[in-house]
Amino acid sequence: MSIYEHLVLKMARRWIAGSSMQEALEYARQANSIGMKAIINCLGEHSISKDEAESSTDEYIRLVDAMHSSGIDGSISVKLTQIGLDVDYDTCNSNLMGIISHASMYDIFVWIDMESSPYYEHTVGMYLGMLKHYRNIGLAYQAYIKEHSLDIMHILESGGIVRLVKGAYREDASIAYRSKRYVNASFRRLMRILFKHSRSMFAIATHDNTLIEEAIALSKEHQGKEFEFQMLKGIRDDLKHMLVRQGFKVAEYIPYGINLSGYVYRRIRERPSNLLLLARSLL
């Protein structure tokens, strides 16, 4: 690790379990011990060669083995550009299939993160393709996108499992809502669709109090729907603990590794005051 990476990791420690898989497993164990599931992500995106994509794929295979052998209650979350989507579709598809088939041996669930809009079509297409063979997979769905070419209903009708998020990338206004008001309205609309139409489990991934309260109200209206709240490591721990105490399922997204910059940048964009917090962590 370079001095620069070391410094950024030190600053971003609240969001990232550490540089090694071992640290992520340790943190996941702590999350399990307080009643939360773990969603472990090995940081990285935009692999530029087959070798790099394969090495990330191998890391996920090792992670699945380690989660199984250490009895972690949780899933993994993967970015398709990390495992080769920028290299070529087939490389990525075959790497993803390797990860999912390995995870399915141990009944470990695989989430596919949704990246920026140029990857949307391929990500949804690959997910729907995998659904024909595997059931242990879910897909992040971004509420800020104005017009998804593939409707959420199509994913649900194909037996898909959705993690609803607001969306974290810088997108053009022609593609994505920019104002919180519109993003929240879209999130609400999609959340109602999930509670009404999802035939399997789904995830509400937000730290937004109001939307979480609305999800709780919807869960009372649609008794018996299986869903979980998902939140990121280092954000709103108070809320996570409160939801666990109230008996809701909560899963914590736990990243690890040294390719931090994209992830850290998105956390700062969501809340620019985080920059000050990071700077203070150096003192």
Question: Could you list the active site residues?
Answer: 113, 163
Classify residue 43 by its DSSP letter: -
Can you give the binding site for ligand FDA, defined by CB under 6 A?
113-114, 140, 142, 165-169, 180, 205-208, 230-232, 235-236, 253, 267, 270-271, 274
Give the integer Cα–Cα distance in Å for 111 and 82: 14
For ligand FDA, the closer of residues 104 and 117 by Cβ is 117
Q: Which residues are CB-contacts of 40 (< 8 A; sequence separation ≥ 6)?
A: 24, 25, 28, 63, 67, 72, 74, 75, 76, 77, 254, 255, 256
What is the smallest separation between the CB atom of 183 and ligand FDA, expressed in angstroms?
8
CB-side neighbour CA atoms (13 Å) of 59: 25
What is the smallest separation between the CB atom of 60 and ligand FDA, expressed in angstroms?
16
What is the smallest separation between the CB atom of 184 and ligand FDA, expressed in angstroms?
7
For ligand FDA, the closer of residues 106 and 265 by Cβ is 265
For ligand FDA, the closer of residues 53 and 176 by Cβ is 176
For ligand FDA, the closer of residues 69 and 210 by Cβ is 210
Q: Which of 105, 112, 108 is nearest to 140 (CA)?
A: 112
φ and ψ at residue 233, rounded to 5 degrees: -55, 135
Give the integer Cα–Cα distance in Å for 182 and 115: 20
Three-state secondary structure call for residue 78 = strand
Our measurement of the distance from residue 4's CA atom to the centroid of its chain's CA atoms, rounded to an integer in Å, reads 26
Give the integer Cα–Cα distance in Å for 111 and 80: 11
Give the integer Cα–Cα distance in Å for 271 and 283: 21
For ligand FDA, the closer of residues 30 and 49 by Cβ is 30
What is the smallest separation between the CB atom of 77 and ligand FDA, expressed in angstroms?
7
What is the smallest separation between the CB atom of 125 and ligand FDA, expressed in angstroms?
16
Our measurement of the distance from residue 135's CA atom to the centroid of its chain's CA atoms, rounded to an integer in Å, reads 17
Read off the tokens for 223: 């008794």
